[in-house]
Structure 1
């Protein structure tokens, strides 16, 4: 449950329960309770699979971290930040804004993203590729912090699987972005409209092949286990969505959609009025 922090003055709850027929709802009470319990159970299994996947990913990351020349990675970070700052209007008078968002998600249809929308308007992209996904996130996250320290507004997009990690940072004033290769999503750089310049930084060149050879069997096994755990998680999310759709069939006949549409129009009118007042 989410309560308004400043009810009336700022926040307001719209209760759709005002628009249903309680008698019709009570007729399907047992079915609703059973379906709702099933949805909860399926999501719980999905989250357990994601938790298992996270443990596997940490194991996989540990092999690549051991093999990586971190001094060279720091050099990549230095080169990117220096290149961006060279043309930036650095300022230390106002605190810069840093928005934190997500551009990807695990959905019943699989891993989804809105990267084409997020990157629309970006003219210059630094693209970090590497089998060491965690280190790619470290590069992007560090660049984001450096940009913020130099007074630039940033839009920071976190990893939906590991929210503390950073997949992408956009610096709107520079029309510039730094992004890592995100595993599991169908996205190509050429999909970005209006992109003028791309600089690809491949961290794999800084991996010690001798160390990777030692852990070759473990890396392959961890990769397969990670893929399997994520696929199971998505399958249970899909099953939960399917069961939730069944539960909605009990609600739909009991809803007064004309009243809901009228409420929607009322809220929209108020929002547009607030927008005019803001202008």
Structure 2
């Protein structure tokens, strides 16, 4: 894993000179869990001319750790980086985009079947050990999928109730009064300067 990381860092950032100051990192989401299911926009984040590295690996193989090391090294060299996190576990990284050098790294399944540079972390796994737990792993994967599906159904029901409530609230709201109140509060706060 460390060897793959170092090779990748050298390939992507080896020729990048230090810019004299740290770059800027911006943290966002490119995927969301919505009433319509999991919605992903990674394909709109990464432009056609971008060099894309698809990071392949089962859960727990270190994909997010690898992405974090690449983006932090890019920032140290002075490059600006957009970091896109996963919606379910916000600390996990799904995609990084280094616009200054036109490079993206992603675990997004959208890029799985395309002709992008492949970084295969599955080859770091000791399957002799992992195969002993194959049944439990398959059970856990199925459970995660079922819980996600259940969560989406709950979000759907909540949205339906929210939309029903809005039918009563919106026609009875005086948005002009709310705007006047907002301005008044702002002016009162600024008086304390």
- Scaled to the shorter chain, the TM-score interval is 0.7 to 0.9
- What CA RMSD, in Å, does the superposition of the two structures yield over aligned residues? 2.3
Length-normalised TM-score, structure 1: 0.59
Q: Distance in 2 between matches of 1:134 and 1:181?
A: 15
Q: Distance in 2 between matches of 1:218 and 1:103?
A: 30
Among candidates 68, 71, 87, match of residue 15 of structure 2: 87
Per the TM alignment, residue 173 of structure 1 is displaced from its structure 2 partner at its CA by 0.7
Per the TM alignment, residue 252 of structure 1 is displaced from its structure 2 partner at its CA by 3.2
Distance change in 2, residues 1:134/1:162 (3 Å)? farther
Q: What residue is the counterpart of 1:230 in the other structure?
A: 148
Are 1:204 and 2:122 an aligned pair? yes
Q: Distance in 2 between matches of 1:233 and 1:219?
A: 21
Among candidates 216, 219, 231, match of residue 134 of structure 2: 216
1:42-61 deviation per Cα after TM superposition (whole angstroms, max 9, x unaligned): xxxxxxxxxxxxxxxxxxxx
Q: What residue is the counterpart of 1:157 in the other structure?
A: 84
Equivalent pairs counted in the alignment come to 178
* Greater helix content: 1
Contact 1:155 1:171 in 2 (8 A): yes
Distance change in 2, residues 1:190/1:215 (3 Å)? closer
Are 1:115 and 2:59 an aligned pair? no
Structure number with higher relative contact order (C-alpha < 8 Å, ≥ 6 residues apart): 1
1:120-135 equivalence runs, <5 A: 120=47, 122-133=49-60, 135=62
1:30-109 equivalence runs, <5 A: 73-91=1-19, 93-109=20-36
Per the TM alignment, residue 144 of structure 1 is displaced from its structure 2 partner at its CA by 0.8
Q: Distance in 1 between matches of 2:100 and 2:135?
A: 46
Per the TM alignment, residue 227 of structure 1 is displaced from its structure 2 partner at its CA by 0.7
Report the 3-state secondary structure (helix = DSSP H, G, I; strand = E; otherwise coil) of the residue aligned with 1:99.
strand
Report the 3-state secondary structure (helix = DSSP H, G, I; strand = E; otherwise coil) of the residue aligned with 1:105.
strand
Per the TM alignment, residue 89 of structure 1 is displaced from its structure 2 partner at its CA by 3.8
Report the 3-state secondary structure (helix = DSSP H, G, I; strand = E; otherwise coil) of the residue aligned with 2:62.
helix
Length-normalised TM-score, structure 2: 0.83
Unaligned runs of 5+ in 1: 1-72, 192-196, 264-279
Per the TM alignment, residue 90 of structure 1 is displaced from its structure 2 partner at its CA by 2.6
Q: What residue is the counterpart of 1:242 in the other structure?
A: 160
Contact 1:97 1:154 in 2 (8 A): yes
Report the 3-state secondary structure (helix = DSSP H, G, I; strand = E; otherwise coil) of the residue aligned with 2:116.
strand
Per the TM alignment, residue 254 of structure 1 is displaced from its structure 2 partner at its CA by 2.4
Q: Distance in 2 between matches of 1:188 and 1:253?
A: 45
